[in-house]
A and B are shown apart, each in its own frame.
Chain A
Amino acid sequence: MGMIFLGLRNLLRNKSRLILIAVLIGAPFFLLLAMQSIGQAVDQQTAEMNKNVNTVLQLRARGSMGHVNMTNQDRLLPDKVVEKVRAIEHVTQVEPYLLAMSPTTLPNFAMLVGLAPTAVKRLESHGESGNPRIIAGRDFTPEDAGQDVAIIGQGYAEWAGIKTEDIERGRATFIVDPTRTHPVIYAVKRPKRELRIIGKYASGYVFGDLQLFMPIDTLRSIFGIDQGTSWVYARADSVDNVAAIAQRLQETVGDVADILVPKTAAIFTATTSRTMMQLAGAGGVLAFILMVVVVFFVLLMQVRERAREIGTLKAIGASNGGVTIQFLTEALAFTLLGGVLGLVVFRLLGEAVTGRLFALGLGPFLPSQYKPLFNSLSVSSHVSGSVLLLVVVVAVFAAVLGSAYGVWQAIKLSPLEAMKDE
């Protein structure tokens, strides 16, 4: 008890040493907390970005565009493909589409797209863009399934002479004629069908505006296609699972389907997501090692520089155990003080300083296309209790180890040798 008290008394008597060592220990403590905070922020940000990354895989019949009336490109995916895709783990949504072509002013043509009313309105060749914006009328509702209704692209509406006000008033119609031909479109001997245009959309690019969306069953009945699907879109639950799903698709339906994996998902996984997590992880490990090394050597040095004092204490009757307890008490107190200092500074300045640390330390390693996304990285100065406990336990362990090693080196010597060892 006396040596513990002596250790604490020693600690408080030399304030400049106390401050210096607390700062030396507090600095790596702060850095470690900052790195774990960056790690958490990167984790959250990556998860947020994952949500916005295209994780949709497209399937088409092997070697075919899957357009029901296109010369040599009219082979469809069998219906069993949809069921097999639905059964794959991590696939959260499966959307079948049926496509047909319709001539406009030669040599141009438009696309007729059949889909579930609530499905994403995907654009031919730009399927991953998805979801054109309704600019007049209304969107589909589930009740539109099987009805003779359609939503037309603004370019197609212009070509067909369909006025916006007619759409708004529910008076616009469009006649689909499956018998019309084109150099790459053959006639399907089916009657014409008049569809009510309930809405008009804009997609942002010219060919995208030349499409006519309708319920898939409506398109089936117009072209007399009872079975088969042009495209199937399968959404993965996470960007991390895209590759595994692609592999599974290859195994189960690869014999009948071409599988198109979204490039953005692959790039994201291969670059930003993985790189960021690796960098944040490496930064955390480095900060952790730095803290352990700094705490160990600071405490070792603070004992080593007092070898003369240890020799004197032994010369006037202190036991080895007593000296050890005194210095370990000091080490423990130094570490806890340094830890508190690091924590307080982190709570006060963590958000501002950590953001800068991130920009300086990790920013330069980011793939250029993703840097803007991480400018909005939200770093919190909150520290979880479990992380703090782990850091403190490790720091105390390093401190005790460093101090005990220094003390052991001194007490194994005679008092005289210890005094000369400084």
Chain B
Amino acid sequence: MNSATALIQLHGLSKSYRKGGEIIEAIADIDLEVQETGMVAVVGPSGSGKSTLLHMLGAMDRPTRGEIIVAGQAVNRLSQGELTRFRRQTVGFLFQTFNLIPNLTALENVELPMEFNGVPKAARLDRAKSLLERFQLSPRLKHRPRELSGGEMQRVAIARAVANEPRLVLADEPTGNLDSRSGQIIYEVLREISRERTVIVVTHAENLARLADRVIHIRDGRLLDAPLSSKPGPTVRSERAAAS
């Protein structure tokens, strides 16, 4: 694997926090590289650290130690303003609970990141409509989140996540609040958008993870050597792998 072309490079990444006087190590010394485009599933049981890893990749949380490089930017060294630009232009985030702005319509929710990014009104309106049409949400443009189903809300969230055409989309349990049929549709949409960018999906659903191009297993804050996926394996150098 050529590191120079990798979209994501993690070096000795660790995250610990204090809970009731005890130090919990959520992520322990992870090294990882992820290439441009394709879908990567991060799989592991609850509390394994997969969401923590995702949050740090998206500059939603800061690591305790180590380095995160995304699209050539050392995320943990960025200033507040640079972090804002990073979240605006480089990553798109999907939440398990969708996190749409409740007072805005589907169209306005998709427009919002483009508004932050300074895209002119007409251009962002066109792109937002086009994205929502692409995800079969044309009849729902003027609907507010409470008027949408879970699957529809997550598709609006995906449209919002890709509105500024980021190179990386991070999805934290995107089907966790959906029925299996809706979950399947969301995975298909994620697979579709992963043809143009890297999509990293955190899940504990092995069957959905099998749809990914790569699967990374994580347990107790550490990456496991052997991928459970039959698809082409990830480029992983866990602590143990490095030691051996």
Q: A414-B60, A416-B55 are in contact. Are A318 and B103 (CB under 8 A)?
A: no
- Chain B residues, CB < 8 A from A318: 84, 116
The yes or no answer to A389 lying at the interface (CB within 8 A) is no
Task: Give bound CA distance, A14 to B144, whole Å.
Answer: 11
Query: Is the Cβ of B58 less than 8 Å from the Cβ of A315?
Result: yes
**How would you classify the secondary structure of chain A's contact residues: helix, strand, loop or mixed?**
helix
Residue of B nearest to A411 (CB): B80
Q: A318-B84, A414-B62 are in contact. Are A308 and B99 (CB under 8 A)?
A: yes
Query: Is the Cβ of B58 less than 8 Å from the Cβ of A9?
Result: no
> Size range of the interface on B?
20 to 34
Most chain B CB neighbours (cut-off 10 Å) among A10, A315, A318 = A315
- Chain A residues, CB < 8 A from B103: 9-10, 13-14
The yes or no answer to B88 lying at the interface (CB within 8 A) is yes
The yes or no answer to A316 lying at the interface (CB within 8 A) is yes
Residue of B nearest to A5 (CB): B115
Q: A10-B103, A13-B103, A308-B99 are in contact. Are A315 and B60 (CB under 8 A)?
A: yes
Residue of A nearest to B166 (CB): A317
Query: Is the Cβ of B113 less than 8 Å from the Cβ of A414?
Result: no
Most chain A CB neighbours (cut-off 10 Å) among B87, B112, B116 = B116
B-contact 0/1 string along A320-348, CB 8 Å cutoff:
10100000000000000000000000000
Query: Is the Cβ of A316 less than 8 Å from the Cβ of B115?
Result: no
Query: Is the Cβ of A315 less than 8 Å from the Cβ of B99?
Result: yes
Task: Give bound CA distance, A13 to B104, whole Å.
Answer: 8
Query: Is the Cβ of A317 less than 8 Å from the Cβ of B116?
Result: yes
The yes or no answer to B81 lying at the interface (CB within 8 A) is yes
- Chain A residues, CB < 8 A from B104: 9-10, 13
A-contact 0/1 string along B61-75, CB 8 Å cutoff:
110000000000000
Query: Is the Cβ of B84 less than 8 Å from the Cβ of A317?
Result: yes
Query: Is the Cβ of B81 less than 8 Å from the Cβ of A319?
Result: yes
Interface residues of B in 99-142 (CB under 8 A from A): 99, 101-104, 108, 112-113, 115-117
The yes or no answer to B229 lying at the interface (CB within 8 A) is no
- Chain A residues, CB < 8 A from B144: 13
Query: Is the Cβ of A419 less than 8 Å from the Cβ of B81?
Result: no
- Chain A residues, CB < 8 A from B92: 316
- Chain B residues, CB < 8 A from A416: 55, 60-61
- Chain B residues, CB < 8 A from A415: 60, 87
- Chain A residues, CB < 8 A from B87: 314-317, 415
Query: Is the Cβ of A322 less than 8 Å from the Cβ of B58?
Result: no
The yes or no answer to B164 lying at the interface (CB within 8 A) is yes
The yes or no answer to A187 lying at the interface (CB within 8 A) is no
- Chain A residues, CB < 8 A from B60: 315, 414-416
- Chain B residues, CB < 8 A from A6: 112, 115
Query: Is the Cβ of B93 less than 8 Å from the Cβ of A315?
Result: yes
Interface residues of B in 147-169 (CB under 8 A from A): 160-161, 164
Chain A residues with CB under 8 Å of chain B are 2, 6, 9-10, 13-14, 308-309, 312-320, 322, 414-417, 419
A316-B112, A417-B61 given. 9 additional CB < 8 A pairs?
A: A9-B103, A9-B104, A13-B104, A309-B101, A316-B92, A317-B89, A317-B113, A317-B164, A415-B60
Chain B residues with CB under 8 Å of chain A are 55, 58, 60-62, 80-81, 84-85, 87-89, 92-93, 95, 99, 101-104, 108, 112-113, 115-117, 144, 160-161, 164
